[in-house]
Amino acid sequence: DIQMTQSPSSLSASVGDRVTITCRASQGISNSLAWYQQKPGKAPKLLLYAASILESGVPSRFSGSGSGTDYILTIGSLQPEDFATYYCQQYYSTPQTFGQGTKVEIK
Amino acid sequence: EVQLVESGGGLVQPGRSLRLSCAASGFPFEDYAMHWIRQIPGKGLQWVAAISRNSAGIEYVDSVKGRFTISRDNDNKSLYLQMNNLKADDTGLYYCAKDSYYDTSGYPDFWGQGTQVTVSS
C-alpha cells in the first residue's frame, strides 16, 4: 500500500495568512492526488484533483502543486470559512489511501 | 443537485452482520463508479471498497476482503455494503462516495453524510 504522510498535523494561522500543507507519498503517484476539506460534523469536500486542478466552485485562493512523491496544498489568503481539517488522497493504486489530516486552527 | 443518503448503520455485536445502503440522486448513477469510505476516530479516513459502473470491477481493502461485499442496483440508483463477521476495528462512520469516472481508477468527488457503525458487545 502507498503511505501518505501529511505535515504538519496541525497549524495555527490568522485570517489573511498564506498557508501551505505538504503531502508525501511513499512512492511516486504521477499526480494522482486529491485534496479534501472537512469541517466538523460534515463530509469531506473535494477541493482539487490531479494534484493541481481546482474542482468547480472552489475558491481560487486554493491551489495545488507537486509531482512524483511530494505535493503541496496552498491557501493563498486564509478566510474564516477555511478553518477545517484537510486531507490528501492518492488514487494512483488500490487501495486508495489518505493522509492523516492537517487541522487548520485560528491563531 | 447530487445527493447521497446512507442508511443501515447501528450498534451490532462482534461476529454479526449489517447491510449499509446508499440512495443516489441528482446524477446519472449508472455512469459512475462508487466507493465506500470509513472514518475512524483517531485513525482518519480509510477507503473500504469500490465498484465500477457496471459492477465488472470491484476492489476491497485487504482488511475487509472475504467479509464485506459491495454491490449496486443501477435501476434503483442504490449502492450497498454487506458487512459480515464484523469486528471492533470496523467501527466508524461509513461514507458512500461518487467517483469521478466510470471505473474505479478515479477519485471520489462527492460524499454523502455517512452512517455510523459501532461494533461492540
E strands in B1-121: 3-7, 10-12, 18-25, 34-40, 44-51, 58-60, 68-73, 78-83, 92-99, 108-111, 115-119
Per-residue pLDDT reduced to its tens digit, B58-96: 999 999 999 999 999 999 999 999 999 999 999 999 999
pLDDT exceeds cutoff 90 at A43: yes
Indicate the pLDDT class of residue B116, thresholds 50, 70 and 90.
very high
Q: Do A43 and B108 touch (CB under 8 A)?
A: no
Region at B75 (left for phi over 0; alpha for psi -120 to 50; beta for the rest): alpha
Indicate the pLDDT class of residue A84, thresholds 50, 70 and 90.
very high
Indicate the pLDDT class of residue B105, thresholds 50, 70 and 90.
confident
CA B74 to CA B34: how far, in whole Å? 11
Q: Do B111 and A44 touch (CB under 8 A)?
A: yes
Which one of B47, B100, B112 has the shortest CB-CB distance to A96?
B47
Interface test with B, best of A29, A42, A96, A98 (most B CBs within 10 A): A96
Per-residue pLDDT reduced to its tens digit, B17-34: 999 999 999 999 999 999
Read off the pLDDT of each residue in B90-116 and give the average, rounded to a whole number. 96
Which residues of chain B lie closer than 8 angstroms to A99, CB-CB? 44
Cβ neighbours of A45 (radius 10 Å):
17
Enter the C-alpha cell of residue A16: 489573511
Interface test with B, best of A49, A91, A103 (most B CBs within 10 A): A91
Give the rounded percent of residues in chain B with a pLDDT score beyond 70.
100
Q: Residues of B41-72 as b/e, b for ≥16 C-beta within 10 angstroms?
A: eeebbbbbbbbbbeeeeebbbeebeeebbbeb
Contact A54, A3 (CB under 8 A): no
Which residues of chain A lie closer than 8 angstroms to B107, CB-CB? 32, 34, 46, 49, 89, 91, 96
**Residue B56 has what DSSP assignment?**
S
Read off the pLDDT of each residue in B36-53 and give the average, rounded to a whole number. 94
Average pLDDT, chain A: 97
